[in-house]
Structure 1
């Protein structure tokens, strides 16, 4: 119940609207105060100019001949003090003398005036003009702005709110879409909507969902593969153990130990292969450095010969790639072990550089791989109908690991027919850049 109010208070839309209104309110407030001040100053400046002009013109008329100030307009208060006192209005008689060369604000009978004084032949002349209209104008302007500014703020706030709402609507849509995605619906994606920053955000979220979905599929595949393939060796161990318990004379400790050892090694090989495939599926990057693939191939040739396998390694030439030496060594070993298991007599290993690739070819003289099965042999735990089905000693993961390692290094592996009728596996890896 508390999430919705808290989300409303902290919403970007509310913060944007509040921030915009604060800035606009400060600007409009300062502008309104400045406008009223400028209007008042301009009007006062006009009155001051009129007072100065009246003072000059009336003074000249007094100095140049007889002049009755009582004939002047009553809006202008005129008073002469000194030799020939005179005034054009009863209020004018109350005008004080203002210092010369100055215009001052005076109050006469409760009304405000701007007054100025100057010495003439008839005496001290004081002229004043009312400024009530100035006060009225500034008051009116203040009232208008006091009403207009809040109304304008309300309008601006509404516009900003609507614009922010429309701008953030795709965010709310994406939020709802992402909120509906759970572990069973990772194949769903966010609608980018449009080609802008929010569209880029949606695309980024979709790539993140791709990675999460891929990781989940990898985990499920690992669990499925492990549960399926580990069932057989566990069942074999259990059967021999139950036989030894039920009929001790039907078997021996050595026989049970041999079965447990062989099946345990098989389980270890399966688990290690599955873990390696899981790491490759997740895109794990091992440290990479220049690797001489020909040295790896020569080491495998010596190992097979030590096992009594006839190997032709004359085709091994220089070949350098950039990658993880441990993974590449394992891939080459899987290829040669696969060839050794299926060879009738001879295994051939070649390494050559054909820019921009380094090619590792491993060939046997066995029965080969039918053309319609050449992709299946790289699947995990794939079983063929012929002699290349998984035999004793093979986990069914070797060739799948070779392909994943190759692709992790930017290459691939394929199988074709060899010169002696068997299978030729070609591991293709990007050649290392010189220097």
Structure 2
């Protein structure tokens, strides 16, 4: 079953006159612009976090200044009342000794100072003279209040145990430290994966079309998967283009050679019948070339087509019956159907799948003896469509490259079983566009089975 032979000599290949190799910039883990961008971004986030942490406290103090002041005054009211009660009953020396002992054991400093020694603004001094409590260094909790004529008690600021200060700071800024650590870890991990992907892309650009981006834990989201899909498609396109250029140059040699020979024969003969015969031969060769160009354009169109198709759910039994009506008008071989249960739906692009089936049946018609059997089924979450014949079959191992363009197993290039080796290449393209594949097996009738499978949607 079989496509055309691709027995090309090295002289048939088209070789570019000059190869230009681009050397990409080497990737380094540190010092890359991308890493600098991430670092600057997270430094900005860290500064923002710090500003928000401190700014929230400042904003709270400014919004609730009166409430905080009143609460602080109530906290110190008992101390003020105690000092005010003790002051008339104690000498200055006794009061100083008492306050010294109190300050030695308390985190709340208390002292009595003369009014005229205060260095406060006029407003605060006037408030103190009127007996009002004053808190001039907000949010620092230093409290002033008059306890006797010309004597003021100064309370605060609240002290802390020296050993507790670092621990208090650590707890205060722990979220910041955790954020910084996580940011650095995340940025370095992302940078590592980006560098891996960049190196893969550079290697691919140098012609190493088998290289692929890492997946799994090292994958960069869906970007690695998308890159690999793109790389696979580009590899196929590059190889297809190379094969097409070489194959077309080879395939055109024969009809062009025949045309040149027949032109020379026409020029050398005066026999009208021979001249007409040569003209008919030239016309046949031109038709031959026209058919090859048509097949080539069809293949190229499918090769470059958008792989995401708009699939339709099709009743496969009704669809095969309609296809059978079309196919019997194109070939003389009997076509039988192996239909699944009624109402079985398959997702496909009907026009492309009709082209696929027509190519498979046309290929089978060249080699079958009596009958062609078309069947379909759904098995293991796979749609299956096959074409069986009872011909000689395909020797094992000979069908590996059968679905490549311009490949034929019939090296005799017999026109009855020939063609241009594009029919099954188009079949493979259509199968790939359905996320499927085509394979060759032994049929139940002794010949070959061309089996197309694609995933259930």
The 1:155/1:302 distance shift into structure 2, 3 A limit, reads closer
Match of 1:297 among 308, 324, 330: 324
How many angstroms apart in 1 are the aligned matches of 2:212 and 2:251?
Answer: 34
Asked if the contact 1:233–1:263 (Cα under 8 Å) also holds between the matched residues in 2, the reply is: yes
Single out whichever of 175-184 and 262-271 deviates more from structure 2: 175-184
The 1:335/1:44 distance shift into structure 2, 3 A limit, reads closer
How many angstroms apart in 2 are the aligned matches of 1:394 and 1:339?
Answer: 13
Match of 1:228 among 240, 250, 271: 250
SS at match of 1:371: coil
Gap runs ≥5 in structure 2? 1-29, 100-111, 119-125, 137-141, 161-165
Aligned: 1:114 with 2:140? no
Aligned: 1:371 with 2:395? yes
Gap runs ≥5 in structure 1? 62-67, 78-88, 107-111, 118-124, 139-143, 306-310
SS at match of 2:419: coil
Aligned: 1:249 with 2:270? yes
1:17-416 equivalent positions in 2, closer than 5 A: 17-28=43-54, 31=57, 48-57=77-86, 73=95, 91=114, 98-99=129-130, 102-103=132-133, 114-116=144-146, 126=149, 128-131=151-154, 134=156, 162-163=184-185, 166-170=188-192, 171-192=194-215, 195=217, 198=220, 201-245=223-267, 247=268, 249=270, 254-281=276-303, 283=307, 285=309, 288=312, 290=314, 292-305=319-332, 311-313=333-335, 315-316=336-337, 323-338=348-363, 341-342=366-367, 347-351=370-374, 359-363=386-390, 368-369=392-393, 371-372=395-396, 375=399, 378-379=402-403, 380-384=406-410, 391=416, 394-402=419-427, 405=430, 410=436, 412=438, 414=440, 416=442
Single out whichever of 233-242 and 316-325 deviates more from structure 2: 316-325
SS at match of 1:181: helix
C-alpha displacement at 1:154, in angstroms? 12
The 1:269/1:362 distance shift into structure 2, 3 A limit, reads farther
Asked if the contact 1:335–1:362 (Cα under 8 Å) also holds between the matched residues in 2, the reply is: no
Asked if the contact 2:312–2:350 (Cα under 8 Å) also holds between the matched residues in 1, the reply is: yes
Cα-to-partner distance string for 1:179-221 (whole Å, 9 max, x where unaligned) = 34315223223345x7166365434433332232223223223
How many angstroms apart in 2 are the aligned matches of 1:58 and 1:206?
Answer: 87
SS at match of 2:213: coil
SS at match of 1:349: strand
Cα-to-partner distance string for 1:306-329 (whole Å, 9 max, x where unaligned) = xxxxx445x446568654444444
Higher relative contact order (CA 8 A, sep 6+): 2
Q: TM-score, normalised by structure 2?
A: 0.59
Larger Rg over CA atoms: 1
How many angstroms apart in 2 are the aligned matches of 1:431 and 1:40?
Answer: 76
More strand by share: 1
C-alpha displacement at 1:233, in angstroms? 1.8
C-alpha displacement at 1:11, in angstroms? 0.9
Asked if the contact 1:406–1:428 (Cα under 8 Å) also holds between the matched residues in 2, the reply is: no
Asked if the contact 1:21–1:156 (Cα under 8 Å) also holds between the matched residues in 2, the reply is: no
How many angstroms apart in 2 are the aligned matches of 1:225 and 1:90?
Answer: 106
Asked if the contact 1:406–1:413 (Cα under 8 Å) also holds between the matched residues in 2, the reply is: no
Single out whichever of 320-329 and 20-29 deviates more from structure 2: 320-329
